[in-house]
Chain A
Amino acid sequence: MPSIQSKVVNVLLHLLRMKRTVNRLRQRVENGDRTYTEPSQRLHRKHHITKRELNGHLVWTIAPKHNAGRKHIIYLHGGAYVNSFASQHWGFMSKLVDALNCTVTAPNYPHAPEYYVHDVFALMLPLYNELAALGGSSNVTVMGDSSGGGISLALAQRLREDGLEQPGRLILLSPWLDATLSNPEIPEFDKIDPFLGVEGLKYGGEVYARDVDPKSYLVSPVYGSLKDLAPISVFIGTRDVFCPDCRKLRDKAAAEGVHIDYREYDGMVHDWMLGPLPEAKQATNEIVETIRATDFHG
């Protein structure tokens, strides 16, 4: 059962009319109303934070001040493919650095509509290859929330297609797995999701795909095979329009004989694990334990 805090968040999301905000995604983009934040001064004091350019885009690295371990997380933020980092992303990455003594690399990957799916992979492939070469692919966890979760899975599928080594683990948080949002169960979830709005999201999916088949695995990884990928963990709430496609992924994995670590939280909204909720603490602990238990080398 969801915590009281979680129920309060549900009410707040309704009061703040978040769903309407998401459904107005196209207008917001056209008005230049896009999310972009950088690490706070508090985080700069707490961690060793650097930024650099790769293939024209900013790549952030957050590490402990001293003696970082070998574990490395590539974190892909969500934002419906059109928005950059929100402040919650930085807080969550900071928690991971603290708990795991790891380094987090967080690219400000190219955003639609100025860029599209191929531009994202033109950054992500060299970035992954660089970090895998630096510390060993098995020491790398690829993690992302929402659209970043979809990109994470698609990246692993692309690595497999290219014959490249898989990361040590994939962790998908409220992942957006099908940009077309064509799952027939979605309208029912749209009624109970107080955060995401399908109409607005469809715009994000369309401009991200541009002229690429929206049902290709690069855009919508739920349509790709799950065989020969790194171990996958999925965290999803049942008040999230992405829940039906996460269940579809779970069932597809079972049909392909692939085990995935599927964790469905009752009554939780999209990206709940990034917020200040008891369930977020629980999910973060599970994520940390999952990464700790991954058979890293070196």
Chain B
Amino acid sequence: MANWPTLFIIKQFFEPLACDAIVAELKSLDGSAATIYGRTTSGSVDQNVRRTLRVRPSDETIELVMRRLWECKEAVEKHFAVTLNECEEPQFLRYREGDFFVAHQDGNTGLLRLDTERRLISTVIFLSRESQTPESDAYCGGSLVFSDLRNSFHMRAEPGTLVAFRSETTHEVTPVTHGERYSIASWYR
């Protein structure tokens, strides 16, 4: 299928120095298991579905990311021909070796009666570099892969790059095999 998946990409959404500063801050903090889009009576996360740490940085860092996301809202709206009204507080994620998130959709599936169904556009901001071979300043595995019934597309992570896609697009993060992968996820509604 031509032009699949529909992606909106901004290279250097964050400058390398800003990425390094955010990663340094995240490295200095403890995290808790990131949760999953979905609602059941148990608050626990199935470790066979997602294994990732969510780290909460300073309010200033969160505000910085939200401001930058809000600044590019119009461009995202134009690219996807949608109207966006709000942006969720971003999640700062640390994937250690072995961490992953199986194929999933973030929202707008028409299947579930959840608040997260209101998500229209998902964004991922890469903070660290993906490499084919182990390097001290990069991670291996941890690829962002989009898929549907016929296709799959591997998005190469470059620090500072933002990628936006429709929230119903199925995507996964493959297991990290070396190093640590840092990224920021957020959603426009």
Contacts and interface: CB of A to CB of B under 8 A. Distances in A.
A3 interface: no
A55 B40 contact: yes
A57 interface: yes
B42 A119 contact: yes
Contacts of B50: 53
Interface in A110-129: 110, 114-116, 118-119, 122-123, 126, 129
Contacts, number: 63
Interface of A: 36, 50-58, 108, 110, 114-116, 118-119, 122-123, 126, 129-130
Contacts of B44: 114
A55 B112 contact: yes
A211 to B, nearest CB: 11
Contacts of A130: 111
Interface of B: 36-42, 44-46, 48-50, 101-104, 109, 111-112, 170, 172
B49 A119 contact: no
A122 B103 contact: no
Nearest to A114: B42
Contacts of A36: 48
Given A58-B48, A58-B49, A129-B111, A52 B103 contact: yes
Given A56-B49, A58-B49, A108-B48, A116 B41 contact: yes
Given A53-B104, A57-B38, A119-B42, 8 more contacts: A54-B104, A55-B38, A55-B39, A56-B37, A56-B45, A56-B49, A108-B46, A108-B48
B103 A56 contact: no
B112 to A, nearest CB: 5
Given A119-B41, A122-B40, A56 B102 contact: no
A110 B42 contact: yes
B64 to A, nearest CB: 30
Contact of A58 (B40, B102, B109, B112): B102
Contacts of B49: 53, 56-58
A111 to B, nearest CB: 10
A52 B48 contact: no
B40 A56 contact: yes
Contact of B38 (A50, A56, A114): A56
A122 B42 CA distance: 13
Nearest to A120: B40
Nearest to A84: B48
B59 to A, nearest CB: 29
Contacts of B112: 55, 126
Contacts of B36: 53, 56
Contacts of B170: 52
B34 to A, nearest CB: 12
28 contacts: A50-B103, A51-B102, A52-B172, A53-B50, A53-B103, A53-B104, A54-B104, A55-B38, A55-B40, A56-B38, A56-B40, A56-B46, A57-B38, A58-B46, A58-B48, A58-B49, A58-B102, A108-B46, A110-B42, A114-B44, A116-B41, A119-B40, A119-B41, A122-B39, A122-B40, A123-B40, A126-B109, A126-B112
Contact of B46 (A57, A118, A129): A57
A116 B41 CA distance: 8
Contacts of A115: 40-42
A201 B38 CA distance: 29
A110 B102 contact: no
> 7 tightest A-B contacts by CB?
A56-B38, A126-B111, A52-B103, A53-B104, A55-B38, A119-B40, A114-B42
Nearest to B50: A53
A55 B48 CA distance: 13
Contacts of B101: 53
